[in-house]
A and B are shown apart, each in its own frame.
Chain A
Amino acid sequence: MRFGVLRFPGTCDEVDAQLACERVGEATILWHGDTDLQGVDAIVVPGGFSYGDYLRVGAIARFAPIMESVIRFAREGGPVLGICNGFQVLCEAGLLPGALLPNKTLRFVCRQVDLVVEHADTVFTNACAEGERLSIPAKHTTGCWYAPRELYEQVEANGQVLLRYAPGENFNGSLGDVAGVRNEAGNVFGLMPHPEHAVDPLTGSVDGLKLFQSIANHVGAHV
């Protein structure tokens, strides 16, 4: 299978994302100004500071030419994973519920966090076990996930929260300890922590690889 990894001006984690994808499949970088997804099987919207994060995080990137194609791909059921800034972009694009607010401390935080897998029967977590803890680094200033009450209740009722910060690990103030949330259809998922930085024992954890492996398992089972 082949992943397409988006690159906006200001993206900085696309190479790590590409290398993570290449541990379970092939990967191609897709430029923001293009519209051709080159027939990839899944999309990764990586971390960074797309378009300088001017105005609001992710606000400008959602209007990039490539995003038109990504939105169509997502509406047709294609798997889309958004990491950190990619999560913010997907929320702004309306592909994922909620929005990301500044961390409650207003500080940039870079640390390893423990996440709990809430559901393992999904496109993005099928290589995990329900209740499993994943150790994955997070590094952001604007990662406090928020949704208005009615939307939040809907998200919880639908089981759309796939990853939660483990007790004591919610450093950014996210509502309901939400670390990662999927869309209603289940084919789009975003999280603030960086699974692409946790794919090699050299850097302390390989837990992030499970998310990429899950997507590969899903695509492999549906071709």
Chain B
Amino acid sequence: MSQRIRVLVRPKAGILDPQGQAVERALPALGFDGVANVHVGRLVELDVEDPSRVGEMCEKLLANPLIEDYEIVEA
């Protein structure tokens, strides 16, 4: 049996996030006011037989721990 896992990868706090900034600037231009702290990351979905190994997968490949935080969510 495999299990569906979601890995959320985000730029670490304080790291220049020009994608988030671009989205944050674009929203008010479309009339969506009151939006702040926009950050753009990545969602990785995977079916795994051994969910206990996902942390290791994140450290080695799915995220770069130097610049990104990751969060493992069971779908």
Q: Which residues in A have some Cβ–Cβ distance to B below 8 Å?
A: 55-56, 59, 63, 92, 98-99, 101-106, 144, 146-148, 151, 173
Q: Are the CB atoms of B66 and A148 closer together than 8 Å?
A: yes
B48 adjacent to chain A (CB < 8 Å) = no
With both chains docked as a complex, state the minimum distance between the C-beta of B13 and any C-beta of chain A, in angstroms.
Answer: 11
Q: Are the CB atoms of B64 and A173 closer together than 8 Å?
A: no
Q: Are the CB atoms of A102 and B67 closer together than 8 Å?
A: no
Interchain CA distance A54-B22 in the complex, whole Å? 22
Number of interface residues of B (CB under 8 A): 10
Q: Are the CB atoms of B67 and A99 closer together than 8 Å?
A: yes
Output the nearest chain A residue to B66 by Cβ-Cβ distance: A99
Interchain CA distance A55-B22 in the complex, whole Å? 21
Output the nearest chain B residue to A100 by Cβ-Cβ distance: B67
Neighbouring B residues of A105 by C-beta, 8 Å: 18
Q: Are the CB atoms of A101 and B66 closer together than 8 Å?
A: no
Interchain CA distance A146-B66 in the complex, whole Å? 9
Q: Are the CB atoms of B64 and A103 closer together than 8 Å?
A: no
Neighbouring B residues of A106 by C-beta, 8 Å: 18-19, 22
Interchain CA distance A92-B18 in the complex, whole Å? 21
Interchain CA distance A99-B66 in the complex, whole Å? 7
